[in-house]
Structure formats: structure tokens, C-alpha cells
Structure 1
Amino acid sequence: MARRGGALAAVVDGVLVCWLCWCAVQPALAGGGGDGGKRCKYNAMFVFGDSLADTGNICVNKSAAATLLLTFAQPPYGMTYFGHPTCRCSDGRLVVDFLGTHIHVHARRRAAIADSKIILIANAAQELGLPLLPPSKRSGGDFRRGANMAIVGATALDFDFLKSIGLGYPIWNNGAMNVQLQWFHHLLPSICATQPQGCRAYLSKSLFMFGSLGGNDYNAMLFFGFTVDQARNYTPKIVDTIIAGVEAINQSIIQKMLVQFLKLIAMGAAEIVVPGVMPVGCFPLYLTMLRSSNRSDYDEHGCLRPLNELSIYHNTLLQGRLAGLQTRYRAAPAPVRIMYADYYTMVAQLLHTPARFGKQLINLGAVWFELVVDLMGGNGGYGGGVAGFRSGITACCGAGGGEYNYEFEARCGMKGAAACRDPSSHVCWDGVHTTEAANRLIAGGWLGGPYCHPPILH
């Protein structure tokens, strides 16, 4: 884990550069159209993943009756930003929502504020006219600026393999990685020209986010009888499947079905972000459902050590495979940049030391922005109104109170569950997913570093 004053302090050099959608803001402030559009780094974003990234596919992909049974299709999901459920697994926006509204920014400007205690400035960029990323299953959607293939319950391994190892039903697999790749293939005619060169040119200027994937593979194993050691035996296969997915995509449009798969990179994808998995041993769902009677299984933060060690093993293996992939394509005619997004380190810091991070509003002359402030050693001289996250491990939305506020039979969105008054004071939303406030911070750590290697906007 990064030390205080190290990785977190380095965010100042990455995110505190006021990319706050300046390519949209500056021309407007100057009173003219300007050339902001020419400075945008990406023209679209395409996402694959699970519930950490699903912006609505799970509800679009099910019947109305089935949707009513989904807990995250019920209040209080969506309460913070949207005011109603959107089938996002949070109280508001997800990490991909914040990424999607910032990737259009290429020019970077130093903020007028230069205090080492500030670790993030984040703007609700939708107010500047930038769209949220639409779910790919939405009928009639405009996907030229991007599409989201992620869906709740997605696994890296396909259903047939999981079934072969005894994990058929009752696991809830709505769209494994290979299925999402097929969805992307079906969207291509509406995204770019069907000729190879047309798509290649368009995709080379787009950002691809491949994951997080793998978490539900472990869930299927751990919640249905596998030990951590047994699940660990499948980590190399899970990681190799993710790497294969980064490279391969159903390619009938490109080569008229001559072969089954084509390399995604060969299609023109040149900017690919691949997130790891979270420190699941620190989330209420796992702490409740997989509790241990052995005190040595818990670390000093109250997290389940074996589960976090599994996450670390997965992430270490994934980083090694990605490094090999980057080496392979470094000398390609069209350079490819593969970025590892570190969920684990940043989320672990938020969960372990939630009070370290606080919020404050400032005015930069034309637009109000929300800061997330490093409160270690004080509030940095910003006066009153700065308060840190009050809770890390405890779920904001749940039932039962206590250390975790989580009951499986009264999960968020179900009868008996309720949300806390201020979700932004919590890191954990529903026992397994993070709040909008935490998601904003994670996105900032990926955009400017140091929690993405290399940072997306560098």
C-alpha cells in the first residue's frame, strides 16, 4: 500500500492540473467557440466489465417483471445524483461516468490553488454538455461517442467453463466477457464505417476500459463451496482469459467471418485501461458471508486477510501479463498504450483511513468545483466545512447496524434496508460497491495518477 505523502500526495501533480473539461470551459469563458474540440484526447470510450461499470445493461437486458426483482433497480439506488434508480450499483455515478466525462480533455492547466493537501478536483462535467456513457443494450442509442458493454454479474470465464467445474446454476452470469465482445461487434456498424480502415482510424482515438473482470468468477467459487486456495488455483486461467479478451474480439465485420476472432489491437484500439480487482476482504458482504472464527484471518483493519491476498495475487499476475502485452506491442507500427488501473491500493486506503479524505467547495471564478482534501495534519487552512469520510467498512445502505450494517436478507433496495443520511460520508454504499463520492476519487486517481500505470491523461 502506498505510504502517506507518497502516492496520495503525488495526485497533486496529476489530478490538480485543472483538466476540469477545460476544452469545453475555456472557449465558453472567452466568449467564442475556440478550437477546444481539436484538443480533446479521445473521441469515444468503450467499456467492458461487471457491476462496477454497468450503467444500465442489466435492466435493459431483462423483462420489466424481472427488473422489478433487482434490488439495484429500487430506491435508494441513484439517490445522490440522479434522484432515482438507474440500475447503477451505487447511490449515484460510477467510476466510468467520471472517466467518460473527463476523457474529452487533453489540454492540462495548473489550478490557481496549489496546496499539497488537495488531492482531487472533480467536476460534474455533464453540466458542460458531455454525455454519460450509454448502456450498449439500449435500443436506438447513439454510440458514436462511446458505449458500455458492462453488465452486473459478468465473469471473465465463460459459462460453459464455470459449469464444467460445478458452478453452473445458481450463479448469476448475465454476460461473460466473450458475450460482451460479441455485443461490441454488433454495435460497430452504428459506431464507425464497416470497412477495416474506417473503424481502425476511429478506434485508435478511443479509450477502451477492459474490466474490472474476475471478481464475479471468485464470487461464484467462494460463495458456492470453494475454499480460497481452490479459487486461487483458477487465478492464472482467469487472468489469461482477461488478457486474451484485451487482444481478441469477434471480427466478422472486419474480415467477413473468415476466422472467429481478431485482435482488438489490430482493429486500431491503441489506448486500453485494464483495472484489477478490489480488496474484497474489506467489504461487508464478504466479511458477513465468509466470516472466519480464526482471528488470525483478520488483519489490523478488520479485513479478511485470505481474501485480500487472493486479490493481490490476481492483481500481481495481471500486471505481469499486461507488462508482457505492452512489450509485445511497443514496437508495433501504431504504438499501443496499455494501462493498469489500480483499484486495490486506492480503495484499500479509503476503507482503512476514511477520515483522511474530506470535501470542500471552492469557486474558480466561473464554476464551482468540489475538492477532496487530504486532511492528515489538518484541513489545509480551508476553514470550516471540511469533513472527512466518517465510515470505511460500514455500508451506507443496508440493515442491522453494527460494524458492517449488512444483512443478506435485507440488502440495499430490499424491505428492511435503509440508506444513511449522507452517502458522501461513506466509502462503501451497499456492502460490495462504493459510493459516488469514492468513485469520483478513484476516477481522479486513474486520470492523473498515481493509481493508474501510466495515468490515463498522461
Structure 2
Amino acid sequence: MATLFLYSNTFSFFFITLVSLALLILRQPSRAASCTARPVIFNFGDSNSDTGGLVAGLGYPIGFPNGRLFFRRSTGRLSDGRLLIDFLCQSLNTSLLRPYLDSLGRTRFQNGANFAIAGSPTLPKNVPFSLNIQVKQFSHFKSRSLELASSSNSLKGMFISNNGFKNALYMIDIGQNDIARSFARGNSYSQTVKLIPQIITEIKSSIKRLYDEGGRRFWIHNTGPLGCLPQKLSMVKSKDLDQHGCLVSYNSAATLFNQGLDHMCEELRTELRDATIIYIDIYAIKYSLIANSNQYGFKSPLMACCGYGGTPYNYNVKITCGHKGSNVCEEGSRFISWDGIHYTETANAIVAMKVLSMHYSKPPTPFHFFCRR
């Protein structure tokens, strides 16, 4: 018993130390000095980076316990706290990105805007809020911002100028829903992977449109290991699992998508020679958390913190996180998955630390590269 207690305390200490280190790195005041110009970021994507767009745009209820850690209230984020994009913004000492559709309060979008909406795909491209629609919203946002910035309005200095748009960072994190929905419709593995070239083509087209709007700095996230999500594991009956308990077919499809996305970035570096295009291997980071969960101090890496059903996945599509009958783990519990689909703040903090390390970016590039002059 004494040995077990010591073992448990050792991992507890390691876990607390790791998370504290991640948060410390993300809070370093010297980071702000690395930006010699005001950082402006425009983000496009799905629920992995939605900071409240679904609630603002459709009034979709995302209630407590979402947001219970950092915000102490629901902010429309699908997590118990901050998302990866929140930590990346904090690493620059800039405000968290507000949803483009959030018109309430004093939002002036001086540091950019977030066009990401939970559930967004790339295909079909003309449905709310596909990537194509998000880019159209950006075009309208830019046009209106430049109009206000050039007006005689006493507040014109509060709006993003043409240089602000030119020097901004354009982040894209999308594609997960296209693959997941194909499987959910009953499509086979081969049918699903046949869609990947179309998805990649749409992302490439969107980047080129942003380039035509003046964008020159792009930060592209690949998709994570779909086959390790508790939601997928609980809903798929015929399971071909890898050594860590993840669905092989889902992860294989995600890997093929990521290879295509990487190749697309290489093509764009040749086609758009005056643009900087950074590819981030989110898959490698997140799969490492699953595969080495004990080393990170996480327990039950394939189980949701908030959901219904208990072990092994604590996910039930009819009783999801926040709905009547669902349960939630204690604050500070060591879970990777928050609700069966999205990550906990703790996991997001570690993912952010690894993204900022430059070990997973191609080419290796500091996140603040776009705001250095």
C-alpha cells in the first residue's frame, strides 16, 4: 500500500509539474516583447477553435459545465476551459479572439476575428457555416473594416487597417467533420478516403482566396486522431483497434487527409512565393497524449470527463455533456477528453506548449513570426 501511495503521489507531482510548466511557458511576459507590432489573427475552422460562434450565430445552447475552469461560466467553447487557440493568443499577450458573429458588447475586433463555427465542414461548400462561407464572411468583414478605418469617424483608429490585414495571421483548422460525417453516414473506409482530394481542394481554394484578399501569412493545423475520440469508439460497433485502443480506420483516414494537407502546403509554397505557409502536426501531438497518457499523468485517456455511461468511454449520444442525466468529473481530474469529442483545458495547455515548441511545425517557425517587423 505504501508503494502504491508513493507511486500515485509521484505521478500526481509529475502531472502538476507538467501542467504548471505548460501554463508558465504560455504566460511568459517576454513573449509580448517578441511582437513588435499589434498581433492580428483571423481564424477559420470548426468546434476545435470555436470561441462562441455557434452560440452567437444560431443561439445554440452550450451551457455549464462548459467553461467551468478558466471562465467560470459557459462562453460557447466546447471545453471545460480554454481552447488551443486561446492559449496561442495568450502567448502573444493579446486578447482572446471574439466570434465574428458576436455583435454584442464593445467588440471592435482590433486583434482579429474568429470565423470558426462548431460543426463546420469544407463540403458541401455553400452550407452554413462551411469554410467557403467563413471566407465570404471574412471578405465582408474586411470590406466594412477598411471602410470604417478610412472614414472621418473619431473611432476610425479602432478598426483594422489595410496593413493590419496584410500582416495578419490566417489560421485554418478544419477537415475533421468531413471525415467523421462520411463514416457517420455509413460510408466505407474507401468511400471516405475518396473524398479527401475534394476536401483538400476546397481548403487550398480558400487559402488562395485569402491570399487574393491580401493575406500572406498562413498557419494550417492538420486534424487529430479521430479514432481515439470516445464518441467514435462508443458508436462504432465493428471495432478494429490499435494497441492504444483507437479505431484504425478512422485514424488511417485522418492520416491520409493530413498527408494530403501537408502536400498541399508544399504546393502553395511554390505557387505563392511571397507567402509564408506553416503546417502544424496536431495529430502527432494529440496521439502522443493518448499513447503516453501515463507519462503525462492522464488517466483513462479514451474516456470522457463529462458525459454518461461510465467506463470505458462515458459517452452516450442521447445524454451528452451538460444534458440532464450526464455526469462530470471533479475539477482537476486527469482527463484528456472533455465531452467525448473535445479536449479538456489541461490537455489543450499541453498541446499549446508543444505547438509553441516549434518541433511540430513545418518549417520550424515561432508562432509570433507574423507580428515581428
Name the aligned partner's letter for residue 240 of structure 1.
T
1:89 — aligned with what?
Answer: 78
* 1:13-37 C-alpha deviation (Å, 9 max, x unpaired): x99978723255xxxxxxxxxxx5x
Q: How does 1:366-377 map to 2 (within 5 A)?
A: none
Unaligned runs of 5+ in 2: 1-21, 151-159
| Aligned partner of 2:220 among 274, 278, 291 | 274
1:317 is aligned to 2:313: no
Bigger CA radius of gyration = 1
Q: How does 1:201-216 map to 2 (within 5 A)?
A: 201-211=163-173, 213-216=174-177
Name the aligned partner's letter for residue 345 of structure 1.
A
| Aligned partner of 1:149 among 107, 115, 139 | 115
Q: Secondary structure at the match of 2:318?
A: helix
Q: How does 1:17-32 map to 2 (within 5 A)?
A: 20-22=28-30, 24=32
Contact 2:354 2:360 in 1 (8 A): yes
Following superposition, the deviation at residue 101 of structure 1 comes to 1.7
Name the aligned partner's letter for residue 97 of structure 2.
L
| Aligned partner of 1:340 among 269, 276, 279 | 279
Name the aligned partner's letter for residue 277 of structure 1.
T
1:350 is aligned to 2:289: yes
Q: How does 1:51-130 map to 2 (within 5 A)?
A: 51-63=47-59, 67=60, 70=61, 73-103=62-92, 130=94
1:175 — aligned with what?
Answer: 129
Q: How does 1:445-456 map to 2 (within 5 A)?
A: 445-453=354-362, 454-455=364-365, 456=367
Contact 1:354 1:392 in 2 (8 A): yes
CA distance in 2, matches of 1:190, 1:356: 49
Contact 1:75 1:85 in 2 (8 A): yes
Following superposition, the deviation at residue 452 of structure 1 comes to 2.0
| Aligned partner of 1:45 among 41, 55, 73 | 41
1:33 — aligned with what?
Answer: none
* 1:380-413 C-alpha deviation (Å, 9 max, x unpaired): xxxxxxxx22231111111111111111111111
Name the aligned partner's letter for residue 344 of structure 1.
Y
| Aligned partner of 1:241 among 202, 215, 222 | 202
CA distance in 1, matches of 2:277, 2:350: 22
CA distance in 2, matches of 1:175, 1:338: 24
Following superposition, the deviation at residue 39 of structure 1 comes to 4.0
Following superposition, the deviation at residue 199 of structure 1 comes to 5.0
Contact 1:200 1:267 in 2 (8 A): no
Name the aligned partner's letter for residue 153 of structure 1.
G
Contact 2:26 2:90 in 1 (8 A): no
* 1:83-110 C-alpha deviation (Å, 9 max, x unpaired): 1111101001111111112235xxxxxx
TM-score by length of 2: 0.83
1:379 — aligned with what?
Answer: none
Q: Which runs of 4+ in 1 moved over 6 A?
A: 14-19
Contact 2:42 2:112 in 1 (8 A): yes
Residues 1:186 and 1:396: Cα distance change in structure 2 (over 3 Å): same
CA distance in 1, matches of 2:29, 2:123: 37
Unaligned runs of 5+ in 1: 1-13, 25-35, 105-129, 161-172, 249-263, 358-387
Identity of aligned residues (%): 31
Number of matched pairs: 335
CA distance in 1, matches of 2:79, 2:326: 15
Name the aligned partner's letter for residue 131 of structure 2.
M
Following superposition, the deviation at residue 422 of structure 1 comes to 3.0
Name the aligned partner's letter for residue 199 of structure 2.
I
Following superposition, the deviation at residue 43 of structure 1 comes to 2.0
Following superposition, the deviation at residue 329 of structure 1 comes to 2.3
TM-score by length of 1: 0.68
1:265 is aligned to 2:211: yes
Q: Secondary structure at the match of 1:147?
A: strand
Following superposition, the deviation at residue 348 of structure 1 comes to 0.4
CA distance in 2, matches of 1:18, 1:288: 34
1:221 — aligned with what?
Answer: 182
Task: Give the CA RMSD over aligned residues.
Answer: 2.5
CA distance in 2, matches of 1:272, 1:313: 21
Q: Secondary structure at the match of 2:245?
A: coil
2:13 — aligned with what?
Answer: none
1:5 — aligned with what?
Answer: none
Q: How does 1:386-405 map to 2 (within 5 A)?
A: 388-405=297-314
